[in-house]
Structure 1
C-alpha cells in the first residue's frame, strides 16, 4: 500500500489534510502574530499552537511552514500563499527536504493507525535537525498532534527543545496541553486558537460550503464553533449520531438499550474508527453539558457526578485507542458510565 493510500492521523474525517487547505477562518490575530515573528527574523525555536479539535491549529501550522520555507506570498492575508507555487506543491507532496511531519504512524501489522506517537517517530526530529538545510533557509518540523506522544517520545523531544537548532523551527499542534510534560510546554511560545462563536461558524458553513442554514446551526452547536470539526461532522454524516445520542435518553432520563445498540453499531463497523472517536467525544461532551446545567441549577452533587463521567469517558477513549481495546466493550463501558450518572441523577 502506498503512503498516499494510508489513513492520515492528522486529518479530520472526510476533509482534505491541512497541508491541502489554503484558507484559515477566524484567527486573524494569531496569524498576524506568527507573520510578524517570521518577518522579524527572530523566530522562537519552538511554537505550540493550542485549541479545540477542528479549530484550525494545523492549518495555521502549515501556513507558518509555507512562509518559513519560502512559498510565494499572497496579499489576501498575513500568511496567505500561492497554492500553485512549486515550493508549496512539494510541501503538499511531503517531498520538501527541509520539512518534517511527525504524527501517529500506520501500524502495518494491525492495519490501523497507532494509538500514539512513539519514540521511534520522535527520534526523527533530532536526526532531521542535525542535517544542513538542503535549500539554505529554514528547516521546519511539525508534530501533529504533539499531545499524542507517549512519555518516551515526549522526553525524546526535549533535546531539540533544550538545544535549539540553527534556523530550525519546531511547531507543535496540541489539543490537550496538559498531557505534555511541563518541561516541553515551558520551552514553547504558545498561540492559543479559540473557536469562533456558533453564529459566525454557522454563517461560514452556510455561505462558504452551501450547507442549509438549519443544518449549519446544528453542526456549529455540535462542534462548539470549531469550523473544521463542524465541517467534518457534515461531510462524514456523523451529525446524525448526536441526534441518536439525544434520542437514546428516555423520558426518565435513563438510557434506552436499543438506542445504545444503534449507536454502537454505527461506531464498530467497517472503517468506523472516526465514528467511534466522535461518539466518545459526544458522550463526554453530553456529560460535560449536563454537569454545567446541574452546576447552574445549584446542584453540586449532580454536577460532580456528570463531570466525573465526562472525565472517565475521555480517559476510556484514550485507553481504547492506545491499548487497542475491544471497540464494542469500550463503548459499552462508556455508556455504562453515562447511564450510571443518569440513574443517580434521576434517583
Structure 2
C-alpha cells in the first residue's frame, strides 16, 4: 500500500452520500408524498451496505422538511428542503450539521451503550437504552415536524428492550417514525417485524465497492483491491473494515491454518488467538471471526455442490475441495452451527476471545478427521 492520503469513511449520521439504493430512497420518498407514512420501518440487508446511512438520510429528509410539505420553511429562516435527487439533504444546512453532531432535538439514536465498569460497549441494547423512546415520541416535535428514532442495530435489543419498543410500535404517536436497522431480522420478535414496513436493501455491485475503495483507500495494490472486493460480497463497510483491521493478512494466515486441517499448528493458533485478544475493542476478533464464518459458508456450499464456486481464489478453492469431501454435508452444517454460536456468544456473554478462537479451531480440526 502506498502513502497516498486516505479519506476517512464518514459515520452514517455524517454521510451525505448513498450509493446503490435508489429504489429504496424512492419508496421512502413516495411514502412521505402519499401522506400515509408508516410509523415503523425495518431496514434490512447485509452488514455494511448502507442501511444506517439510509436511515439517517431519511431522518434528515423528514426533519429538514418539517413534515410532508417540502416547501415548509426551516427553523433558521431559509427553507431547509431536501434536494430533488432522492432523499438527499444539502450538507451545508443547519439541520444536517445538527444531526451529524447528535444535537437535533427531534431525533434520538439507540445503540449499544457504553459500560463504564468494563470500559467497552455492552453486548446488547438494554432496557435503559430504550426506556425514553415512548416519552420522547409523545412530546410535541420541537421544530414542528416529525420525531424520529433510529435503532442501530435492532437485533442487539435484549428481550426487555425489544418489548419496550414493541409497545411503542403497537400505539405509535402521531407524526413519529421508528427506523429499525437490522442485519439479522430473523432474530427480532415476530410481532416487531409484523408492525413495521420492511425495506430490504441488496448488496452493492462489485463495481460500486471497487469505486468506493478507490475513493477511500486509493493506495491499495490492484491485487489487494480485487481480493477485498471479492471478500466484501457487496459490502463497502466490510471491505473498509478488512482494510483497516489487517483483514488481508488475517485472511492469508487463516488460510494457512485451515490448509493444515485436520492437523493444527498449535503454537501458531495460540499466537494468532493472542493477537486477536489483545485488541480490547474486539475489532480484530470480529474481523477474523467474519472471515472464518465466510470460509465455513463457502465450505458448506462446496460440500453441497461438490465443487467450489467459480471466482474463489485458487488456494482457497483447493482447501475447500479437500475439506468438503472429508465429511458429509450434515456434519459440516452441525459444525458451522456450533462455531457460529460460539462466536456470537463471545461478546454477548463476555467470553475470553482467545479461548473462543482456540475452541473454534479445535472443533474444526476434530471435524476434519475421518
Please, what TM-score do these two structures have when normalized by structure 2? 0.84
Any stretches of 5+ residues in structure 1 without a counterpart? 1-13
SS of 1:229's partner is helix
**Residues 311-330 of structure 1: matches in 2 within 5 Å?**
311-330=337-356
SS of 1:26's partner is coil
Aligned pairs, number: 330
1:116 aligns with 2:124: yes
1:52 and 1:282, CA in 2 relative to 1: closer, same or farther beyond 3 A? same
In 1: Cα distance, 2:81 partner to 2:246 partner:
36
- Find the structure with the greater CA-based Rg: 2
Residue 40 of structure 2 is matched in structure 1 by 46
1:229 and 1:338, CA in 2 relative to 1: closer, same or farther beyond 3 A? same
Q: 22, 29, 38: which is aligned to 2:16?
A: 22
Asked if structure 2 preserves the Cα contact closer than 8 Å seen for 1:119 and 1:153, the reply is yes
Residue 57 of structure 2 is matched in structure 1 by 63
Could you tell me how far 1:251 is from its partner in structure 2? 4.8
1:285 aligns with 2:279: no
In 2: Cα distance, 1:15 partner to 1:339 partner:
38
Asked if structure 2 preserves the Cα contact closer than 8 Å seen for 1:102 and 1:142, the reply is yes
1:127 and 1:254, CA in 2 relative to 1: closer, same or farther beyond 3 A? farther
In 1: Cα distance, 2:54 partner to 2:221 partner:
27
Residue 3 of structure 1 is matched in structure 2 by none
In 2: Cα distance, 1:121 partner to 1:99 partner:
14
SS of 2:82's partner is coil
Please, what TM-score do these two structures have when normalized by structure 1? 0.89
1:272 and 1:177, CA in 2 relative to 1: closer, same or farther beyond 3 A? same
Superposed CA deviations along residues 37-82 of structure 1, whole A, max 9, x for unmatched, are 123332100000001111111011111100011154234x301121
SS of 2:255's partner is helix
1:262 and 1:24, CA in 2 relative to 1: closer, same or farther beyond 3 A? farther
Asked if structure 1 preserves the Cα contact closer than 8 Å seen for 2:262 and 2:364, the reply is no
What is the RMSD of the two structures over their aligned residues, measured on CA atoms? Answer: 2.0
**Residues 169-180 of structure 1: matches in 2 within 5 Å?**
169-180=177-188
1:106 aligns with 2:114: yes
In 1: Cα distance, 2:134 partner to 2:23 partner:
31
Any stretches of 5+ residues in structure 2 without a counterpart? 1-7, 65-79, 308-323
Asked if structure 2 preserves the Cα contact closer than 8 Å seen for 1:244 and 1:259, the reply is no
Residue 311 of structure 2 is matched in structure 1 by none
In 1: Cα distance, 2:211 partner to 2:365 partner:
35
1:83 aligns with 2:52: no
Residue 295 of structure 1 is matched in structure 2 by 304
In 1: Cα distance, 2:9 partner to 2:334 partner:
33
SS of 2:259's partner is coil
Q: 142, 149, 157: which is aligned to 1:149?
A: 157
Could you tell me how far 1:209 is from its partner in structure 2? 4.2
Residue 234 of structure 1 is matched in structure 2 by 243
Asked if structure 1 preserves the Cα contact closer than 8 Å seen for 2:49 and 2:235, the reply is yes
